[in-house]
């Protein structure tokens, strides 16, 4: 069904009455019937034709708007008669003789006279060929993909292919500017009648057309011309109201990054809904006084809602536009597109959603005659070259074709070729009503979606509909998507607790085993200082004894504020040996922050050094202090005076449930929160690392690069010292200097390191510039922040094949590391994030929705972590602990919990998890939702950028804008204007920062991540330059501004003005390009004006084009 009247026929006259009155009122208010345009009057383009012409200019040679049909004619076919019938059709319909040349930058249409127009179809004789069918399919594919030249025409191609004596294929391709789907029905029916008449020697049997499509276009223009009496009433006003406020843009998760300019490569997959679901939909719709289309629309919107998480969904559909008798026999683009907006807010039941959908559809279909192009003009959605305006998905419902066999002539049926290879939208669902079942054809853009994704989506659609018809009182969030096998697979994949953790073994016991086994092996390296396992254990023992004497035991919290050095490592081990839990603090942190943490963690004893207390005077106030430097010096003297071995004093030993250490992480409110990690969690983490990294066998020399207050410091220490390896300390100064870092890695033969992406980018750039390799590593882990595939590929090139390059992911609340990634994914694009992979042994990953239910593969949700390595919770924050640590809904283990990471993630079909960013780093500007990490990724891919950050800042007027920051590569001096221009070629305009500020060094926090709070105020607008009093830097700018003013009717145009913010749209854009051609002799493609939207940027493009060699 493709128009309102057909949809209304589904229901009784009584139910139809209100809608019938609406249609009658609309028809009565409309102008009288369509008549032939006055003699000599210009033939204007209809709104649909004008839009299609503009789209062709935007992407010349695009075959997406071709309308290909392939028909099989079974029975005897006289090819000469068929050619004559085709020529009669061309004479009958002006559109088949029309071309659309440009005159002074604007489209016109020219109609070739019927009596002089020479055209005939191509005839291909394949009779006798062994592969006739295959050849015909190739011809069909070639014909469908061949572009049309709208300016020259003809815009119709017909190829008659003789396969056998009684088998002929007709390949018909038109451009949508001259036809629509219903036009093909008209042409097919008229061809039958003409062929039958000519075959028997008769004359043309068709009555003359009362009007031609150009007459309809003239009538439409008269009716909807700007300034017409009804402009502000009825239709246009309805659509302005429907699309007032923030306009949604569909954000379905895609398998591939969205191209910056919309593409049309597509494929179609067909599935059939069961008879049970089909009957249920009819019954459910009937009970709600809703048509089948309305019911399907509610279901489709519910599916999109569950996939995207959006409450405001716009779906396009088409109506035939032939509700007047004059238009029924016409060939032309009469079909109109409607944008149907569905409100899914508040998690309604499906029954309530259907009520909302029905109400909205009735209102929208009452104004279906307003041309879609006119709606776009009225609504003026923001420009985005990567998406269609107003909606990005379509839904259509049609009756199954009913063949009308003619015993006297050939039977006409479809010829199955390779199927459609284009997609006009991201995703379209075409439903054919076959009676007891509904056939669903899913047309999708292959640059966005994989076949397997569409197959899953189709299955989820049927399952959702089945849930809705079974119980329409269920809220949308509870409608089932996953099958039981699918749900079980998602919940259980890689989520096994598979490594034994003894309840009475702690990490310091493992360290002591290596002290006994290899006492003289080097445990810690700090520059020239090399400390053996025996010596490190001796120092740790001294500190442990002093702590026990002061009453430290299980659950005692001991602060350590000291720089990174072997004695600090000994102090941490000493706290563990004493049975206590350490709270590591960075001496470089502000005094107020240090004192807050000490108080918040209820620390009564602080381990530190005299030089630290001197530099932070108020640190030790009101607190018992143990000076590590004094204790170790006194211990050394005591050891000399009392060389005899002293038997160990018995003391309380911690168990798995006791606290091992407490680490502070930043809080969303600005108040740091302390995560409490137990001995059991730390042992589980070590056993997992031991298995996946080959600790003590494959890798033995570990770089320690993390700040002492960061959980990774503990991870580095435990991996090395509990496996008998060597821990090599790397101070911050060396970490941030790639030359010094590389020298350290080579000198100490480091074979394992866990580094942050910022450090890796700098190190990779240095090593590549020096022509060297990172050939020392056996395992190189990169983690603690999102990084991107280009960095991954660049790093992989610098590592020998034997190196395991992994992306490690972890949260403090799950004891340092939770997963690793090392799956080969050569198909991933440079700008995509490196996946975080699969959970470590004893760790569980779940990607869940707001109701803690698993989402389908590829769909975004929140990442939750479970397993044995979870923290106890946050110290002194029971409400926050209860909010983030939840009862495990999928575990049979008593007391099992899940931690809400707050990371936006999805599970890929490979089973790897991909983190897309923080849920709280998604911002909304001017109605657009923006992932700041995505902008940072693209900016960081520029060859001159070493590192990049993007934040939201308020300008002087209080408007929130994106601000970009770039640390240039060594020896590079990028131009901020060029960086902005690069971003405009890679991102939608609303994701391009207003400013780019160059930094000598990107500020990093103690953990090596971007310190966004330390970023300076943005530089002045990157494209601001000194201008003479006239306001223009060049004569070209001034001439471009004059051209804009004339095209837009603007009084004043400045160099900074944006074409589209001044009110520009498609036709003025074409006038501007024509004027530029006349003024400068340059022929710029239309897309240029969408990429260079200010006078200054466009003038620069004009100058470049004018200076380019011919």
Question: Can you spell out the DSSP letters for 1007-1064?
Answer: TSSB-GGGPPPPPS-TT-----TTS-SSHHHHHHHHHHHHHHT-S---TT-BTTTTT-
DSSP 32: S
**pLDDT value of position 1026:** 37
The 3-state DSSP class for residue 317 equals strand
Determine the Cα–Cα distance for residues 19 and 25; give it in Å rounded to an integer. 10
Which residues 6+ apart lie within 8 Å of 128 measured at CB?
none
312 contacts 345 by C-beta, under 8 angstroms = yes
Q: Which residues pair with 676 in a beta bridge?
A: 662, 873
Q: Which residues pair with 85 in a beta bridge?
A: none
How many Cβ atoms from other residues are within 10 Å of residue 79's Cβ? 14
Q: Is 435 exposed, middle or buried (0-12, 13-18, 19+ CB in 10 A)?
A: exposed
Is the per-residue pLDDT at 13 higher than 60? no
Phi, psi of 540 (to 5 degrees): -65, -35
Residue 126 lies in a domain: yes
Return the H-helix or E-strand segment holding 558.
Answer: strand 557-561
Structural tokens at position 366:
């009452």
* CATH for 940: 3.30.300.30
272 contacts 437 by C-beta, under 8 angstroms = yes
* CATH for 131: 3.30.559.10
Is the per-residue pLDDT at 882 higher than 90? yes
pLDDT (tens digit per residue) in 14-40: 344 444 444 444 444 455 688 888 877
Burial 591-611 (b: 16+ CB within 10 A, else e): eeebbebbebbebbbbbbbee
* CATH for 1102: 1.10.1200.10
Which residues 6+ apart lie within 8 Å of 459 measured at CB?
271, 483
**Do 1089 and 973 share a structural domain?**
no
pLDDT (tens digit per residue) in 823-865: 888 889 888 889 999 999 999 999 999 999 999 999 999 999 9
Structural tokens at position 828:
């991933």
Determine the Cα–Cα distance for residues 497 and 684; give it in Å rounded to an integer. 10
Q: Is the peptide bond before 154 cis (omega within 30 degrees of 0)?
A: yes
**Do 54 and 165 share a structural domain?**
yes
The 3-state DSSP class for residue 11 equals coil
Structural tokens at position 555:
């659950």
Average pLDDT along the chain: 88
> The domain containing residue 976 runs over which residues?
926-1014
911: phi > 0 → left, psi -120 to 50 → alpha, else beta; which? left
∠ Cα 17 18 24 (to 5°): 85
Is the per-residue pLDDT at 10 higher than 60? no
pLDDT (tens digit per residue) in 331-364: 999 999 999 999 999 999 999 999 999 999 999 9
Q: How far is CA 10 from each of CA 106, 281, 294, rounded to the nearest angstrom?
A: 44, 13, 11
Structural tokens at position 343:
């409100």
DSSP 238: H
389 contacts 1090 by C-beta, under 8 angstroms = no
* CATH for 564: 3.40.50.980
**pLDDT value of position 1025:** 36
140 contacts 418 by C-beta, under 8 angstroms = yes
Determine the Cα–Cα distance for residues 158 and 121; give it in Å rounded to an integer. 5
Q: Which of 250, 196, 180, 243 is CA-nearest to residue 85?
A: 196
498 contacts 517 by C-beta, under 8 angstroms = no
**pLDDT value of position 207:** 95
Among the candidates 193, 209, 225, a domain finishes at: 209
| Residue 355 Cα to chain centre, angstroms | 31
Is the per-residue pLDDT at 7 higher than 50? no
Determine the Cα–Cα distance for residues 760 and 763; give it in Å rounded to an integer. 5
The 3-state DSSP class for residue 662 equals strand
Higher pLDDT, 122 or 1051: 122
Residue 499 lies in a domain: no
**Do 1092 and 989 share a structural domain?**
no
**pLDDT value of position 1069:** 83
Determine the Cα–Cα distance for residues 452 and 827; give it in Å rounded to an integer. 15
Determine the Cα–Cα distance for residues 588 and 609; give it in Å rounded to an integer. 14
Determine the Cα–Cα distance for residues 801 and 778; give it in Å rounded to an integer. 10
**Which band of pLDDT confidence, cut at 50, 70 and 90, is reported for residue 572?**
very high
**Do 1085 and 967 share a structural domain?**
no
- Average pLDDT of 1015-1042? 70
Q: Which of 62, 35, 240 is CA-nearest to residue 1086?
A: 62
Q: How far is CA 134 from each of CA 141, 410, 415, 431, 918, rounded to the nearest angstrom?
A: 11, 22, 12, 28, 52
Q: Which of 764, 745, 734, 740 is CA-nearest to residue 701?
A: 745
Structural tokens at position 928:
């657009």
Phi, psi of 597 (to 5 degrees): -65, -40
Determine the Cα–Cα distance for residues 308 and 811; give it in Å rounded to an integer. 26
Residue 761 lies in a domain: no
**Do 548 and 639 share a structural domain?**
yes
Among the candidates 209, 235, 253, a domain finishes at: 209
Is the per-residue pLDDT at 12 higher than 50? no
Is the per-residue pLDDT at 8 higher than 60? no
How many Cβ atoms from other residues are within 10 Å of residue 80's Cβ? 10
Determine the Cα–Cα distance for residues 1023 and 1043; give it in Å rounded to an integer. 21
1015 contacts 1003 by C-beta, under 8 angstroms = yes
Q: Which of 413, 419, 402, 406 is CA-nearest to residue 71?
A: 413
**Do 149 and 102 share a structural domain?**
yes
Determine the Cα–Cα distance for residues 1068 and 1062; give it in Å rounded to an integer. 11
pLDDT (tens digit per residue) in 369-420: 999 999 998 888 877 888 999 999 999 999 877 665 555 667 888 887 766 7
Structural tokens at position 654:
């911690």
Is the per-residue pLDDT at 1 higher than 80? no
Residue 736 lies in a domain: no
Lowest mean pLDDT, pick from 48-62, 749-763, 1081-1095? 1081-1095
Determine the Cα–Cα distance for residues 188 and 199; give it in Å rounded to an integer. 16
**pTM metric for this prediction:** 0.85
The 3-state DSSP class for residue 924 equals strand
Residue 621 lies in a domain: yes
Among the candidates 172, 188, 209, a domain finishes at: 209
**Do 174 and 54 share a structural domain?**
yes
Instruction: Give percent of the chain above pLDDT 90.
Output: 61
Q: Which of 807, 809, 750, 808 is CA-nearest to residue 774?
A: 750
Is the per-residue pLDDT at 894 higher than 50? yes
How many Cβ atoms from other residues are within 10 Å of residue 927's Cβ? 13
Determine the Cα–Cα distance for residues 47 and 995; give it in Å rounded to an integer. 38
Helix, strand, coil abundance in the chain, percent, nearest 5: 35, 20, 40
Q: Which of 136, 115, 116 is CA-nearest to residue 125?
A: 136
Residue 971 lies in a domain: yes
**Do 142 and 55 share a structural domain?**
yes
**pLDDT value of position 957:** 54
∠ Cα 432 438 443 (to 5°): 55
Determine the Cα–Cα distance for residues 576 and 616; give it in Å rounded to an integer. 26
Q: How far is CA 66 from each of CA 62, 174, 270, 348, 733, rounded to the nearest angstrom?
A: 8, 6, 21, 40, 62
Residue 1043 lies in a domain: yes
**pLDDT value of position 1021:** 55
**Do 930 and 1071 share a structural domain?**
no
**Do 1047 and 947 share a structural domain?**
no
Residue whose entry in the numeric block shows the structure tokens 């559809």: 361
Is the per-residue pLDDT at 791 higher than 80? yes
Domains of the chain: total: 4
Structural tokens at position 837:
């992979």
Residue 540 lies in a domain: yes
**Do 197 and 75 share a structural domain?**
yes
3-state SS string for 851-908: CCCECCCCCCEEEEEEECCCCCEECCCHHHHHHHEEECCCCCCCCCEEEEEEEEEEEC
pLDDT (tens digit per residue) in 911-969: 999 998 877 666 656 545 577 877 888 898 899 999 999 998 876 655 678 899 999 99
Determine the Cα–Cα distance for residues 608 and 575; give it in Å rounded to an integer. 13
908 contacts 821 by C-beta, under 8 angstroms = no
**Do 1065 and 939 share a structural domain?**
no
**pLDDT value of position 26:** 47
């Amino acid at each position: 069904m493709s128009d309102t009247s057909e949809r209304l026929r589904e229901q009784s006259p009584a139910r139809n009455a209100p809608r019938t009155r609406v249609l009658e009122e609309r028809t009565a208010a409309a102008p009288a019937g369509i008549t032939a345009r006055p003699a000599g009057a210009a033939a204007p383009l209809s709104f649909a034709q004008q839009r299609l012409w503009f789209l062709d200019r935007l992407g010349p040679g695009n075959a997406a708007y071709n309308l290909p049909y392939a028909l099989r004619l079974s029975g005897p076919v006289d090819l000469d008669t068929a050619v004559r019938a085709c020529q009669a059709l061309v004479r009958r319909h002006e559109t088949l003789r029309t071309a659309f040349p440009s005159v002074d930058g604007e489209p016109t249409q020219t109609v070739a006279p019927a009596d002089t127009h020479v055209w005939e179809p191509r005839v291909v004789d394949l009779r006798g060929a062994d592969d006739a069918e295959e050849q015909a399919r190739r011809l069909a594919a070639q014909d469908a993909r061949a572009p049309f030249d709208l300016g020259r025409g003809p815009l119709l191609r017909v190829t008659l292919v003789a396969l056998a004596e009684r088998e002929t294929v007709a390949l018909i391709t038109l451009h949508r500017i001259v036809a629509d789907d219903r036009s093909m029905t008209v042409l097919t029916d008229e061809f039958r009648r003409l062929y039958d008449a000519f075959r028997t020697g008769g004359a043309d049997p068709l009555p003359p057309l009362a009007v031609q499509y150009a007459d309809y276009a003239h009538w439409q223009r008269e009716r909807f011309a700007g300034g017409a009496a009804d402009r502000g009433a009825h239709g246009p006003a309805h659509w302005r109201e429907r699309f007032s406020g923030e306009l949604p843009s569909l954000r379905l998760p895609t398998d591939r990054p969205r191209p910056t300019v919309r593409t049309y490569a597509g494929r179609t997959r067909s599935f059939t809904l069961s008879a049970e679901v089909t009957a249920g939909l009819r019954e459910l719709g009937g009970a709600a006084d809703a048509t089948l289309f309305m019911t399907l629309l509610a279901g489709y919107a519910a599916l999109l809602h569950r996939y995207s998480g959006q409450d405001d969904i716009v779906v396009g559909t088409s109506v035939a536009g032939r509700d007047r008798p004059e238009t029924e026999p016409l060939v032309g683009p009469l079909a109109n597109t409607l944008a149907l907006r569905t409100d899914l807010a508040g998690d309604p039941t499906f029954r309530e959603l259907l009520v909302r959908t029905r109400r909205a559809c009735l209102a929208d279909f009452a104004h279906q005659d307003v041309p879609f192009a006119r709606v776009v003009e009225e609504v003026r959605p923001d420009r985005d070259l990567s998406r269609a305006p107003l909606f990005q998905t379509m839904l259509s419902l049609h009756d199954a074709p009913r063949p009308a066999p003619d015993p006297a002539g050939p039977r006409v049926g479809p010829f199955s070729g390779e199927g459609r290879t284009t997609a006009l939208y991201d995703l379209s669902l075409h439903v054919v009503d076959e009676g007891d079942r509904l056939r669903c054809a899913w047309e999708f853009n292959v640059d966005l979606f994989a076949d397997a994704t569409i197959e899953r989506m189709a299955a989820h659609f049927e399952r959702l509909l089945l849930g809705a018809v079974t119980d329409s009182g269920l809220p949308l969030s509870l409608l089932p998507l996953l099958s039981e096998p699918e749900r079980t697979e998602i919940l259980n994949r890689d989520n096994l607790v598979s490594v034994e953790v003894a309840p009475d073994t702690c990490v310091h016991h493992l360290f002591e085993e290596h002290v006994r086994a290899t006492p003289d092996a080097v445990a810690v390296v700090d520059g020239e200082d090399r400390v053996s396992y025996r010596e490190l254990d001796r120092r740790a023992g001294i500190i442990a004894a002093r702590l026990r004497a002061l009453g430290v035991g299980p659950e005692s919290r001991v602060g350590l504020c000291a720089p990174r050095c072997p004695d600090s490592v000994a102090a941490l081990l000493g706290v563990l040996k004493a049975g206590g839990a350490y709270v590591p603090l960075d001496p470089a942190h502000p005094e107020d922050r240090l004192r807050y943490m000490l108080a918040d963690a209820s620390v009564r004893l602080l381990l530190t050094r005299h030089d630290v207390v001197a530099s932070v005077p108020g640190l030790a106030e009101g607190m018992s202090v143990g000076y590590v430097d004094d204790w170790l010096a006194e211990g050394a003297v005591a050891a000399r005076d009392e060389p005899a071995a002293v038997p160990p004093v018995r003391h309380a030993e911690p168990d798995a449930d006791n606290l091992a250490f407490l680490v502070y992480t930043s809080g969303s409110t600005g108040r740091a929160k302390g995560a409490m990690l137990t001995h059991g969690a730390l042992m589980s983490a070590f056993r997992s690392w031991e298995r996946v990294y080959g600790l003590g066998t494959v890798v033995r020399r570990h770089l320690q690069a993390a700040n002492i207050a960061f959980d990774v410091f503990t991870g580095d220490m435990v991996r090395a010292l509990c496996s008998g390896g060597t821990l090599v300390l790397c101070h911050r100064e060396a970490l941030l200097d790639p030359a010094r870092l590389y020298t350290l890695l080579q000198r100490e033969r480091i074979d394992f390191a866990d580094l942050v992406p910022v450090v890796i980018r700098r190190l990779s750039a240095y090593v590549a510039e020096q022509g060297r390799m990172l050939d020392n590593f056996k395992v190189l882990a990169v983690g603690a922040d999102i990084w991107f595939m280009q960095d991954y590929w660049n790093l992989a090139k610098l590592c020998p094949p034997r190196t395991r390059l992994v992306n490690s992911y972890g949260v403090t609340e799950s004891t340092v590391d939770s997963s690793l990634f090392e799956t080969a994914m050569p198909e991933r694009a440079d700008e995509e994030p490196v996946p975080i992979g699969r959970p470590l042994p004893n760790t569980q990953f779940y990607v869940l929705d707001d109701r803690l239910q698993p989402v389908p593969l590829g769909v975004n949700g929140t990442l939750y972590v479970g397993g044995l390595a979870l923290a106890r919770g946050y110290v002194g924050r029971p409400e926050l602990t209860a909010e983030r640590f939840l009862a495990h809904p999928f575990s049979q283990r008593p007391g099992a919990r899940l931690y809400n990471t707050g990371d936006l993630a999805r599970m890929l079909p490979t089973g790897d998890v991909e983190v897309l960013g923080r849920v709280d780093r998604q911002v909304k500007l001017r109605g657009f939702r923006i992932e700041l990490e995505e902008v940072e990724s693209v900016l960081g891919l520029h060859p001159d950028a070493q590192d990049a950050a993007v934040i939201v800042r308020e300008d002087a007027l209080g408007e929130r804008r994106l601000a970009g920051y770039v640390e240039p590569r060594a020896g590079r001096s990028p131009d901020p204007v060029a960086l902005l221009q690069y971003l405009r070629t890679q991102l939608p305009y609303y994701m391009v920062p207003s400013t780019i500020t160059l930094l000598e060094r990107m500020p990093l926090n103690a953990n090596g991540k971007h310190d966004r709070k330390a970023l300076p105020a943005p530089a002045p607008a990157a494209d601001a330059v000194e201008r003479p009093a006239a306001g223009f830097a060049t004569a070209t700018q001034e001439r471009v501004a004059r051209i804009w003013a004339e095209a837009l009717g603007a009084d004043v145009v400045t160099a900074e003005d944006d074409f589209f913010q001044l009110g520009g749209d498609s036709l003025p854009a074409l006038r501007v390009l024509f004027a530029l051609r006349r003024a400068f002799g340059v022929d710029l493609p239309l897309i240029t004006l969408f990429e260079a939207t200010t006078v200054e940027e466009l003038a620069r493009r004009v100058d470049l084009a004018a200076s380019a060699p011919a």
